[in-house]
Every structure is written in C-alpha cells, then in structure tokens.
Structure 1
Amino acid sequence: MGKVLMKGNEAIGEAAIRAGCLNYFAYPITPQSEVAEYLSRRMPEVGGMFLQGESEVAVAYMLFGASACGERVFTTSSSPGISLMSEGISYVAGAQCPVVFVNIIRGGPGLGGILPSQGDYFQATKGGGHGDYRLLVMAPASVQETVEMVMMAFPLAEKYRNPVMILGDGLIGQMMEPVEFPDHLRTEPTNKDDWATNGMDTRKDNKQNLVKSLYLDPTQLNDHNLLLKAKYERMKQEDVRYEPYNTDTDYKVLIISYGTMSRVCRTAIDNLKAEGLEVGMIRPQTLFPFPEKAIHDAAIKESCKAVISIEMSMGQMVEDVERCVQGKRPVEWYGKCGGDVPTPEEIMDVVRNWKLET
C-alpha cells in the first residue's frame, strides 16, 4: 500500500491496527475525538474491540484489566482526560503493564481551549500520578512520524512492561498529510505468558501469575521501586531518540524544540541561514528518556554562545534543557500557549535580539 492522505487522528487509529492492536477503550474529548469515531467503524471490520467507557477514569481501569491479561490495548485522549486517567496510569506503571496512551494536547490549565499546546510536558515526563514511576514518552513532529511512533509504541511497552505515551497536539491531530504504514513495524506480543494473568491452561504450567502494585511490606515496596528505577535507567541507555538539524555548522545559537513547534523552528533556521546566521537545533523525539548527552555536547560546542528552548508552553522543557547544559552556556526560553503558535518570523526575531544583546 502506498501513501494515503489522512487526518492525523484517523492515521493514529489505523496505525494501531496495523501494529497489531485490536483493543481500543476511550472516552471522547476534543481535539482527538476523531480517533474514536474512526475506530468505532474500523475495529469491527478487523475483528477488534472498540469500547467507549463512561468516563476517562473507567477507561484507565479497562486498560489496566485488558493489559494484565496480556492483550495489546491503547487509548487516546486530551489533556483533562489524561488527568482523569492519572491514578490508573500510576497503577498500570506500578503493576508493570504495557499500555499505549496517546495525548493530543489542548491548552490549559483547567478546561483551557481546544487549540494546540505543549502544556502537558510536566504531566507526561515527571509523572502525572502518584508515586515513583516514569512513562516512556515520544513526541512526533508530523503525521507520518506519529504513525511510526504509534506502531513502535506497542513493542516498546512490551519490552519494558511499562506504559508508553505519545505526545501530540491539536495540529498533529487535525492536519492532513500523506502517510504510509510500514509493514516492518507490525509486531506480535512477546513473553506475555511469563507474567500475564491469561490462565494457567493457556500457559500449560502450574505457575500463578499475579499482576499487582500493592506491596504492604516496606522492604518489598522499596525493592519493587528499585526494580522500576533500573528499568528507567535501561530506557536511558537503549531508547533515547533525537534529531539534529544544522548542527554540522559553526552555529552561534542552539535551539531545542520538539513536536510541531520544531517544524516552525526549522523554517526559521533555514531563513536565518540565508541571512548568514547559523543556528542549530536538537529535536527530542523522546521526552523521557531525554537526549541529555546530545544536548549537552551540542551546547558546549565552541561556536555556540547560547541555547534557546522554544515551546508551546510557558516554559516546561526549559528546565530539562538547563539541567543538560549544566550552566556552561546561557539558556533562554521563548514560547506561547493556548493555540497561538509562534511564527518563523517571531523565532527569527528572538535569535536576532539575542545576538544584538550580546
């Protein structure tokens, strides 16, 4: 099958099916409701299950139960919906269940607005629920990359027995772009018989698999958290993803940006290059694990004089950027939120103004 023109939300649904996931539980919320609309028709065609819960809280525990039985399962939602799922996400992470969450971010806090935002960075990367847990978080910059990340998310969730979250925004969900669904990204679940509650008859042995997050003994709970921490450290070693742009030049300024915001930054970098000003960019494709070494090494390049974190938020990722740079270069922030996306011209002015001030 060649490329087809699809809306982002619909491509997300199709990508999950092509990845081998036939279980989708969700509750509608803009700007991602078209995923549920699409899958309500598409899942029955492929022998799959679409179930709309009575709330996002209920959906989170449907996901928990299905995943604990060894089934591939995912959901899509938007900011307040993810907030309602946060308790369940913590349970899923604590019980080490592989679930894929897609958050098409809207503005906030509160009800905010339905236009694109990146204001859920903290929620996704620092743990929106209780306890010491982390999600593997991926951030696509196009509909095609969203398709690929959705398809990659299922084996990654199973590799680590951990929730994976894909952070998009209203632009990703609503725009239409040509996409294809790579056959090599379709995979089958692995090793679920080792841990899932799928019945001893299925496993042909007498081992009881208990999926839980309750540890009343403090030593056992501490050991469990150490096990989880080791898993998160393994993610940092094996699954950091990022894209450098124009970093093979003697750039004066380094931009850090992700998602659709990075596409605007790329245009600004190209325009500045035409003016004779070299600017590099590191685009994190995983927000956790964060590309710490790549950003640090790019920031301390001799030609680089400053680092600018550009976001559709009031400055959330900038804290991680500052941690990576370790005070070796000045770190600035520029951003907007609520759906007012910075333009290439505004980004160019930010870079130029920094140059004038220094």
Structure 2
Amino acid sequence: MLSVPSLEELQAAAHVVTLPMRVKFRGITEREVMLFDGPASWAEFGPFLEYDDAEAARWLASAVEAGWQGFPEPVRDWIPINATVPAVDPSEVAAILGAFDAVHTVKVKVAEPGQSLAEDAARVGAVRHLLPAAQIRVDANGAWDADQAVRALRMLSVFGLEYAEQPVASVAQMAAVRRALKGLVLIAADESVRKATDPLAVARAGAADLLVVKAAPLGGVRRALEIVAEAGLPAVVSSALDSSVGIRAGVALAAALPALPYACGLGTVSLMAGDVAAESLVAVSGGLSVREVAATPALLAKFAATPGRRDWWFERLRRAHALL
C-alpha cells in the first residue's frame, strides 16, 4: 500500500516549471509541470491543464510512488525508443526527425482537427521516404469515427504500418475497426486504457492487439504493470510530454515489464526547447539507458513558472491530494 505524504510535505518539495516546445504538440507551445524533490528520487506531477481532479489524482499517485517509494527492480537496462512526428506539414518532417538520434521507429500524429486524410498521407509518406526501413505507427487520439478509421487505415497501410494507436474513441468502435481491418493494420489502445474507468475493458472486448501504457495516468509504475499482466496483451510504454524527470518513470515501467516487443514512446524530450535536468533523458543510438535523473537548481530557476501559474498548480495539488 502506497503511503501518501502530507500535503505540507509535498508543497515543501514542489517546484513548478514552464518548458518551451520546439513545435506545437497537442495544441500547446509550452508544457507546465510540477516537480517534487522526493526522498527516493525526483518526481513529476504533470496532468494536462484540461484534466479533472479525479484524473489528476492518479498522476499525483504516480509522482508519490516515484518520489517517496521508488521504482521496481528493472529486468533490462536499455529501452528502444521511437521518434514522434506531430501533425506538421510534410516539409517539416525532416527537421523534426533530425532532433532524434538513430531513428528506427516513428510515431506519426494523424487526424488533427482541421486537417485532411490527404495531409495525413503526405506526412506519413514523407516519413517513409526519409526512412524506408523504419517501423511507422500512426496515432489518431480517437479522432476518427469507425468508418473514417477503416478508410484511413486502409489507405495508410500502403506505407507499411506497424500499428494504429487509438483510431477511434470507444471500445465498441475499436472492436468494429479491428474486425473490419482483419489484421491489415494492428490496433493499439491508448486512451481506452489510461482514461477508462475499467482499463481492462478493451482487452475483454477483443478491441486491441496491444496496449499503450503510461505510468502517470494509470497511477504509477506498479499499477501499470498490474494492468498489463491482467490484460494479457503486448505493451508499448509511452510518455505524456514529460520532462526528463517524468520520462524516468516511463523508463522504469519499460524496464520492469517481463517482455518489451515494441519500441517505446519515451523520446518526447527531444520535442522540447528546455528541460530541468542538466543531462536530459534523450535517446542515444535509438534507445534510453536506465539511469537516475535529477532536476538542477539553475534550470528550475530558468524555467520557473510565473507566480500566478505556481499558485494555480499548488491549488490543483491540494485538490488532487484530497482525493488520494
């Protein structure tokens, strides 16, 4: 049972930072997170601004695990990493991929509001042209309906997709898309796991071939490991646009899984123009080594949030802590 520190202890250990992005991602150009200098390690509390208090409380549980309990013992010391291409114009793809080291796998964002399937195809095609031997996966964040997803994935399959992540929003739609595609493109569940009241519903419905798991939204590394074991499906570990401190939790999860058949989505620090660690947790030779990460005072000061944003996060901390 996780022992939760007092609100006063968390407040005393907390720092709020605003990190600039190299490119717009998830519609944002800055990433705000709260960091804790915990007794076990540095930890990150970074639910996106629109998330409600109940969801934020799971992110806080993950931060408490990292900072006050520490991580499970790893079974591997190196994690393969995918590059991430946001929903940009094809002309920008080369520069984005250039920020990543030794790219073997690429996740491409598709189904961005206001963009067309033709634009998605051009972006995926640009990745395939630049990296003919790479694994390519696409992520729609649940934005298509079932008919749109089937049509889009049949078109995009010509580029040789490794899988499609959360093509539609609901578990029932996921199952329908998977049946319609008949194995042409594998289906991965992300939001259907991390945002669901029942994270195992997607596995019971036969709606996915694999799971995308993130430590923070699921309540921590140990809870994520339990969900993967209960689901009985292969897992990809991903991040939530974290600083190097938050990525460390994802690395801990990937390092503790019994099997790791896919490259992990833990390379998003490369999309940021600032970080809190002097030695950022970014891929080398296409992967991340399992190591400790600490925020440095100079970088905490450089990227410190404004007093108003700091107050907003401390109030959010108070509400989330009350739900633990």
TM over 0.5: no
Report 1 or 2 for greater relative contact order, CA contacts < 8 Å, sequence distance ≥ 6.
Answer: 2
TM-score normalised by length of structure 1: 0.28
TM-score normalised by length of structure 2: 0.30
Which has the greater radius of gyration? 1
